[in-house]
Structure 1
Amino acid sequence: MSDTHGQLMDGVYRYQRHFYDLTRKYFLVGRDEMIASLAPPPGGAVLEIGCGTGRNLVLAGKAWPEAQLFGIDISEAMLETARGAMVKAGMAQRAVLAQGDARDFDPDALFGRAGFDRIFISYAISMIPDWAAALAHAAKYLAPGGRLEIVDFGQQDRLPRLWKRAFFGWLAHFYVVPRADLCRVIGGLARETGMAGHCRSMARGYAIRGGLARG
């Protein structure tokens, strides 16, 4: 499954990766605010799942200059672009990127680490087939005091129906499916793990911001 999905994502982004950030700049709501709120401890480890072009990790590195940066993506094509972004930003020495599936990656094998102080997922949950398993898997690798932060498309529930129909149809062309049960799954994980969970709608339902915190 992971090989097939990785090949699919390579196909989708083989050319889009070159202009992805320019075209997504105005409608990936809430990601910059999420990055600005990460606040890892000094020298803390920050992992982005679905790091794509590396744009978000560069911002995280600038906002938190003492943080160690890690990223995984299932698309090797995207990782090629991300590695270039790290070099361009002067962060190649403090960032480690690896190909991995969000549902079963092994941080020890990939990075020589057992956990992370902050894990974030920006507009990738809507592209992961077994996304609920991916969330549960990520939560396992939160260090004590760690946080998992998520932002993704909402159900557009307080926006015009015509907008929702057209927008969801457009997203489907890129294999993007907003997850109606995201808040429910976060709440379930919070109960199962004893972590604190949060989830809220943003911008009239355009986006959802949620996450988990390990005490």
Structure 2
Amino acid sequence: MLGPHQRIRVPIAGYEMLFVVEENHGGCVHACSVADIARVLENLPRTDWEDLAAIVLRQPTRKARLLSPVWGRFAYSADLGLRRRSSFCTGPMVFIEAVDPTRPIEWSGALGPDGQAELARLAEDGHEVEQAGSRWIVSPSLEAVRATQLYRTLPHEIGHHVDWLEKVARAPADSPDDWDARAAAFFARPREEREAFAHRYADAANERLRRFGLVPFAPLA
């Protein structure tokens, strides 16, 4: 269920996208503005994101921030609504999480190749990364969080959507039953395989945007 929020419809590349922006609390802020996200979307293929029902700038609960902090996530099917009220939006959505930029994040010191690669990405985005005993400590800043969420997390989550579109929603079908079979096969794939697809999409998008000088850019109001 959503807390107090704003709903904003923004025209992007001839398409109107719904943004849902929750109010912040607990020292958290939205590092990316709606205008920031719209700027990135307008420079990605519209067919990769126009089927999204909404982009949600989410305020995580205190428990979520402590136990499972994330930069963002993709929901293949989400249902937005208020307590005791019916939903106002359903479908695939990208969630970008509010963060407390003053709160360090602890990582296990025993990282595999994927974890090490992610630490390297965070350092490249401007986070301070240091080892303390058996743990890695990531000290963020508002600028570093914005870079991570805008240039990496957002394209990554859209990559999950593109993966679904290619393999299920837009794949050719000989019969209506094919959709259910494709969906079952999609979710039967290892999580690592789906994450690898999203990483490849994000890396390619980021490299293309940087090559043409479209990112990075100064924060937009």
Give the TM-score band, short-chain normalised: under 0.3
Which of the two has higher C-alpha Rg? 2
Query: TM-score of the superposition, structure 2-length normalised?
Result: 0.26
Q: Give me the TM-score of the superposition, normalised by structure 1.
A: 0.26
